[in-house]
Structure 1
Amino acid sequence: MRQALRELHERHAGDRGGAPADYIPELAKGDPDRFGLAIATAGGELFQAGDALAEFTIQSVSKAFAFCIAIEVIGRAAVLGRVGVEPSGDAFNAIVFDPRTNRPFNPMVNAGAITIAGLLHERFGDAAFPLLLDRMSQAAGQRLAVDEAVYRSELETGHRNRAIGHLLRNCGAITGPVDAILDIYFRQCAILVSAIDLAWMGATLAHIGEHPGTGRQVFDLGAVRDTLAVMFTCGMYDYSGGWAFNVGIPAKSGVGGGIVGVVNRQLGIGTFSPRLDAQGNSVRGIRVFEDLASDFGLHAFECLNQGSVFVTSLLR
């Protein structure tokens, strides 16, 4: 596995396709050529290559974990009453709701994620973001922090998200103060992680909510199942169908350049490369996941994939 990651890093390091996100000014200041890979197993092993320790902001990868937490602490029925689970086919920041329900299509687009923040604010008020940060830290296996410069940058320039928030308030999807709810959302997107952190967070989901290294039960089992299902169908924005076809594992991307992937009962995969494609997904990250899925038979419908036995046997 170590050799495989090194070879993948070498294979794709020269790819200069795509460009970093520039609509958040602070994101445009980072090194566009950083590139890190990490895999954590359900058995607690870690493998890495390249800039796997380099920190970047989690951005939309946080949406999967916020949804998981909301399902657990607020309840499935209450969450699904405010946000759907259908792929939208639209860009992640589209200002469009499901015409049948007048609610966001799913929690992996901005409108849905802001609704999740609104639900958490309704229940926990000012304690909502500390709850998110604590749970995500437990999933990463270490205390995470917020990049204050990126948070301020998003707060000052996030006018589109502010418009989405007011439309959500108007249609009743959120009921609290829009600015306070958006503050939660901007802060969660500005949490600092590395590819290694994402690998452990993915492995925690793969290990049915238990962190493989610490042994701590971080997420509820039912919430994990629901989260993985929505990640599989909606986690890669308007490339989600292509991702399910070509890679075939639950995943979530972010415009900071990160992708987290989950091979159920087996692996968490984290990649970092800030050059993005037109859909907002990491160009190198997609290529790495495609190769991993092909080389190790990770696709959910791969005929050689025998569940947890297959990859576990390769790692012995």
Structure 2
Amino acid sequence: MAITGGKFGERWRDICKAFGLNTLTIDPEWGDRADPEDVKSMLNEHPDIKAVFAVLSETSTGTLEPIKELGEIIKGRDNTIFVVDAISGLGACNIEVDGWSVDICVTGSQKGLMMPPGLAFVSISDKAMRFVETSKLPKYYWDFKAMLKSQAKGQTAYTPAVSLIIGLKSALDLIKQEGMDNVLARHHLLAEATREAVKAIGLELLSRYPADSVTAIKAPEGIDGETLKKQMDTKYGVKVAGGQAHLKGKIIRIAHLGYMGPFDTIAAIAALEMALNDLGYPVELGKGVKKALEIIYKGWK
């Protein structure tokens, strides 16, 4: 079973199909999240489902999925494992891999770990390792049995990306110095400041359950999201992301994850206000910035 609801949930579906797996889907509207009861019902109807695939933070819509609740549903099912894409969520949104019964958690170096892309990380539960032992699907690079055999000798199974691993040490030192609770609190504060700032200038969020990693904002009526994104970049030097698939031109996305501080957020809101005015959408300059400043000033430690 793959939970979609965005570009990266759909990618889980596509990966499963690429491996020839019979794949059922739960398909929330983009900007909404999966209803745990729908997942429970599908598992009850199809007790032979071997895995449930979900995304912690759906980057394409800025949505936080109910991973804790889904883990509660799946944990008592001995023949089903829970697999979570935490690529944009880890380090920005809370996830308790063991406590929430996540059997396989996947992330990358390029988001909350503040590094270039190139490293992938996977955690595997004892329950999932039992599946690894009996798996007949084709595998080579991600042959976990081969990897564990090498790690037991203090080695890697293949040539590692040494320069990135050295960079990872520095990134983890920064996280350790700040403290994980403070890292999550910082992401939440910057996300909350962004959300309230865009509301203050009359814009709407796309997601009903916004994540703290990225905020998806609907382009106002008459304004193309791609044009707005380009204006923020070319005139004000602030890079944001646009929409993907059918959301292209309809939203912009402002990130808060990784090496981000309060003035990154304030600059993004200021650029958004000015770009909107440039494109003929009147915004009181400083209104959103003021709201963001108030929230950050009150919550910054």
TM-score after normalising by structure 1: 0.24
- For the pair shown, the structure with the greater C-alpha radius of gyration is 2
TM-score after normalising by structure 2: 0.25
- Structure 1 or 2: larger helix share? 1
